[in-house]
């Protein structure tokens, strides 16, 4: 068992994902930051792309609708800017960082299931121009987020 985990950890490291030891199976990419409300953010200069995590989409089930904000709208760290509706529930999408919306993933209006099949690539939700780059430091790295999810799942 330990040999399998060691092998999986090496493969995961090469693929830039985290692997937790105790049953946590969601994909967590190492180069992203994570909010405790299960949104991810990728920083590129003064711009940020974000969406919901693999863990979140897995718990939601099949996504059937994504409410997107208007271009130019200001979003604030920790506050809702939209929603994801699935066959199980509707969940707010909270902004992991503050800024101005400069792009929305319009493809999600016709193909909301991309949030399930490709949460970190094709299923991104919005891109913002950062208003406070320091807010990123308040977010979790991949290891902390994996542990957070594992502990949260253990409670349920």
Asked if the model's pLDDT at residue 56 lies above 80, the reply is yes
Query: Comparing 20-29, 62-71, 79-88, 96-105, which segment has the lowest mean pLDDT?
Result: 20-29
Residue 52 pairs in a beta bridge with: 39
User: For position 25, what pLDDT does the model report?
Assistant: 58
| Model confidence band, residue 26 (pLDDT cutoffs 50, 70, 90) | confident
124: pLDDT strictly greater than 80: yes
Mean pLDDT over the full length of the chain: 86
Between the CA atoms of 70, 83, 100 and 52, what dihedral angle is there, to the nearest 10 degrees? -130
Q: Could you count the other beta carbons within 10 Å of the beta carbon of residue 37?
A: 16
Task: Check pLDDT > 60 for residue 135.
Answer: yes
Indicate the pairing of strand 74-75 with strand 99-104. Answer: antiparallel
Size (the chain), residues = 156
Instruction: Kindly compute the dihedral angle of the four CA atoms of residues 63, 84, 101, 110, in this order, to the nearest 10 degrees.
Output: 40
pLDDT at 69 over 70: yes
DSSP state of 68: P
46, 40, 136, 137: which is closest to 94 by C-alpha?
40
Residue-level pLDDT at 2? 35
* pLDDT tens, position by position, 32-41: 999 999 999 9
CA proximity to 97, closest of 65, 66, 75: 75
What is the model's pLDDT at position 145? 93
Between the alpha carbon of residue 106 and those of residues 70, 124, 125, the distances in Å are 11, 10, 8
65: helix, strand or coil: strand
């Amino acid at each position: 068992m330990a040999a399998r985990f060691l092998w999986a950890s090496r493969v995961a490291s090469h693929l830039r994902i985290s692997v937790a030891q105790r049953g946590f199976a969601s994909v967590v990419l190492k180069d992203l930051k994570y909010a405790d409300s299960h949104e991810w953010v990728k920083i590129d200069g003064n711009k940020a792309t974000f969406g919901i995590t693999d863990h979140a989409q897995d718990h939601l089930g099949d996504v059937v609708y994504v409410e997107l904000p208007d271009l130019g709208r200001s979003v604030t760290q920790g506050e809702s800017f939209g929603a994801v509706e699935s066959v199980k529930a509707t969940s707010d999408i909270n902004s992991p960082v503050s800024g101005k919306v400069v792009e929305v993933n319009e493809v999600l209006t016709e193909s909301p299931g991309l949030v399930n099949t490709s949460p970190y690539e094709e299923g991104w939700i919005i891109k913002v121009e950062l208003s406070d780059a320091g807010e990123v430091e308040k977010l979790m790295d991949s290891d902390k987020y994996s542990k957070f999810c594992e502990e949260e799942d253990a409670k349920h």
